[in-house]
């Protein structure tokens, strides 16, 4: 058996051993969604899990609910793994036992799964690290307020990637997003940016009223409106939404 196959077998063995635990954890997080920077219970669940598996962590980051954890390894720089932990202000219409207990708040974007995956990864790697040193240190970033709250930026500003809080400097970062359309047990990726947010842009135009006696001193409103419409028509021909999905990027 090759080294890679041996490694995969070891990882699979550890995952199988904790799979039921992770499913229950995901159900618990899903049932208790919290909005950005208010993920107090979720943050406590993360901290309790990390404490139980003896993985060192720093809490209270990114305005209070962010958590940073670390497992030592042999490399000079850490591999960063990141998950978002917040939910959305959406009413859940599911009827299963672990549906949201908070009316108007739901894990509609799968962050309950992302958080569980990262915690499970921390547990598997901590078990492996007890047997053999990891080839690289691993830093785990549990980021609040991904849904429009710039929680990732706050974690960076707090020094989560610099090595000042835990472990060495982070040399590379990895994240993931659940994708229901993807075949089971498959992972998809591509070069370059992907899964960027769809941010709206609002443009307001206005003019000050003037007396007819100052006709030659005021802006030509019709000409200004015409230029605006012409510009809009130009962009309409290249509207990204018409040609690009969320797996591509465009402006």
pLDDT band, residue 82 (cuts 50/70/90):
very high
Query: When comparing pLDDT for 228 and 43, which is higher?
Result: 43
pLDDT tens by residue, 158-189: 999 999 999 999 999 999 999 988 999 899 99
Mean per-residue pLDDT, 111-126: 98
Separation between Cα atoms, residue 116 and residue 127, nearest integer Å: 17
Q: What is the pLDDT of residue 129?
A: 96
Q: What is the pLDDT of residue 1?
A: 41
Separation between Cα atoms, residue 234 and residue 228, nearest integer Å: 10
Separation between Cα atoms, residue 46 and residue 146, nearest integer Å: 17
Of 74, 110, 105, 81, which is closest to residue 195 (Cα–Cα)? 110
Q: Which residues contact 60 (CB under 8 A, 6 or more apart)?
A: 66
Indicate the DSSP class of residue 88: B
pLDDT tens by residue, 142-155: 999 999 999 999 99
Mean pLDDT rounded to a whole number for the chain: 87
Helix (H) or strand (E) holding 27: helix 3-31
Domains and CATH numbers, the chain: 3-174 (3.40.630.10), 190-251 (no CATH)
Per the confidence metrics, is the pTM higher than 0.75?
yes
């Amino acid at each position: 058996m090759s080294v890679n196959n041996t490694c995969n077998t070891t990882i699979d063995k550890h995952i199988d051993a904790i799979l039921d635990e992770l499913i229950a954890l995901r159900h618990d997080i899903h049932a208790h969604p919290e909005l950005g920077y208010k993920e107090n219970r979720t943050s406590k669940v993360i901290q309790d899990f990390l404490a139980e598996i003896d993985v060192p962590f720093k809490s209270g980051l990114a305005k209070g609910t962010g958590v940073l954890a670390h497992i030592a390894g042999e490399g000079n720089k850490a591999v960063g793994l990141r998950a978002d932990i917040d939910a959305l202000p959406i009413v859940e219409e599911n009827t299963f036992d672990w549906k949201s207990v908070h009316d108007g708040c739901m894990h509609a974007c799968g962050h309950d799964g992302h958080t569980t995956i990262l915690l499970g990864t921390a547990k598997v790697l901590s078990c492996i690290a007890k047997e053999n040193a990891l080839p690289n240190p691993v830093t785990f970033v549990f980021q609040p307020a991904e849904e429009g709250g710039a929680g990732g930026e706050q974690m960076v500003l707090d020094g989560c990637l610099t090595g000042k809080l835990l472990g060495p400097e982070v040399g590379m970062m990895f994240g993931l997003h659940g994708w229901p359309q993807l075949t089971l047990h498959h992972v998809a990726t591509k070069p370059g940016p992907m899964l960027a947010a769809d941010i709206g842009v609002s443009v307001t135009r206005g003019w000050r009223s003037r007396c007819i006696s100052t006709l030659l001193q005021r802006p030509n409103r019709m000409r200004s409106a015409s230029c605006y419409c012409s510009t809009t028509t130009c962009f309409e021909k290249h509207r990204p939404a018409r040609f690009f999905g969320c797996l591509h990027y465009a402006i």
